[in-house]
Structure 1
Amino acid sequence: MLAMGEMVAFVASLAIFSLLISFDGGNALSLDYYTETCPKVEEAVTAAVKKATANDRTVPAALLRMHFHDCFIRGCDGSVLLKSVGNNTAEKDGPPNISLHAFYVIDNAKKAIESMCPGVVSCADIVALAARDAVVISGGPTWEVPKGRLDGRVSKAIDTRLLPSPAFNFSQLQQSFSQRGLSTEDLVALSGGHTLGFAHCSSFINRVNNFDSTHNVDPTLNPSFAASLRKTCPAHNKVKNAGATLDSTTATFDNAYYKLLTQGKGLFSSDQALLTNPKTKNLVDKFATSREAFDEAFVKSMIKMSSLTGGQEVRLDCKVVR
């Protein structure tokens, strides 16, 4: 949602984007897509998410980020689930996705669903449903997920360079989202996904060490917050998995992200970038003030993003092309 974890900085031109990515809006989605063919699909996904979360509180953040990273490449087609084969390095092994985890949750849900409804439910739909359940189980809003996505056959690590980076400025973020048919409000609302999760030092160390030729630390950062980040992530940090939570209530879906952002305590450059444009700053202020407004906007934007489609099949195993 949203850097949603570690991503490499890369600005893709529209020409390159057009070559690497295509969204096929042809897959018709509907709320009752599986009503006749697999009526208990949502129950199976919810059960898998709840079971995994009971054992690992980082699962919801992982599933939400997984869905975002899936949809932003070729649409929501489950390509992020495919494993590398032969000479092809898949998306999940691309630099921005190395820290993605909880793939087993999708596999477990798929196994349960296949036992009930063989060859009917796509892995892409399971990811979309799991992301919704991740939000709900964390105390966030619920929504009806349109279903009927198909799974894609192509997954290339090189394409992950097109994911929005935590180092992006506003114009780079705006271009990245608009190329996917997402608005400025979608950008701000989906950035609220940073209410869940953890980021490694590499995603924000640029703000607290050698920021620019004039400042060692980003002057827009709250001084005490910057000092804590510098302590956690010194210039030559060698501590594996060192980092910081994305907001103060890392396992709870709420609007704390926006409140902290208005206090100079946003973690990424891309977070701070939302305050550099009058329209997005107004939305940040609105969501910081009203949890209800944030929830409503987030649901609307999640449905919009998750409706980007582009697959061709229903996989029997989410890790391999059928």
Structure 2
Amino acid sequence: MIALVLRRFLGLLFTLLIVSLLIFAVMDLLPGDPASIMLGTSTSPETLSALRHELGLDQPLILRYGRWLAGVMSGNLGQSYTYGVPVAGLIAERLSVTLPLALMAIMLSVAIALPLGVLAASRRGSIFAVIATLFSQISIALPAFWVALLLIILFSTMLGLMPAGGFPGWNEGFLPALQALVMPAVALAMPQAGVLTRVARSAVLETMHEDFARTAMAKGLSSSAVLWRHIVPNALIPILTMIGLQFTFLVAGAVLVENVFNLPGLGRLALQALSQRDIIVMQDVVLFFAALVIVMNFIVDLSYLAIDPRMRKAV
């Protein structure tokens, strides 16, 4: 088992290396010159050349990639061309908004989808199955940004219960900051909960027809005990896979909801860096998103070994 974990970890590192090379190469192919954008079109060629030399833009691609990769490995992500501050500080600042938002959204999604999907599978034809089907279809059909607008109209404009947007910062107090993230988290969670409900229902239905489930029923165990002690734990693998994918999507793909609520998150930082041609910020943010996906897949793979004894015996 230790050898398997080590192989997976080495594969993770190799994948990150390849992804970093691809990200750097693609960013280098984007049109426009960061030095020209920083100085403007009216600058003299000598000043432009001096700034390109200062930024290292006149060096060969492989040297610039090596310097960037060495900085990433040492924790030095470089200096933003636009903001003039270390990129690591920018990412950490924006992540303090995006990460709690994604965690709140995924916890809300699981809290809704798991019980609803399990009950819909175990009580087919009941009101739970009807509710689960309707909820799944409606929540998947509604875009997250549209749900966000509806929440603002209802709870901010009409009822005045929640802030319509903005983020006060964690230094202003835990409750005000948390309150600012509630409606964005709900908007992000609803479509994900619809998808997860379908996955949970299908996984439980499939597991219910396994031999061990019928054997447990034949031993005289109650339906509830068989469901929660035997069926649900063995149906967790596809559910955990989907949760891992959804969490990475919520971190990397929350840019629309962040813009609706005017939240200074990581998605907005990436969008601003793209519009301002801040290559170093774009590279680091995209690499962070890619690393998050790869690391999350690694964690999900390890969780399989924890919840399924058969996989531990196989290795």
Same fold (TM over 0.5): no
Pick the structure with greater CA Rg.
Answer: 2
TM-score normalized with structure 2 length: 0.24
Q: Give the helix-richer structure, 1 or 2.
A: 2
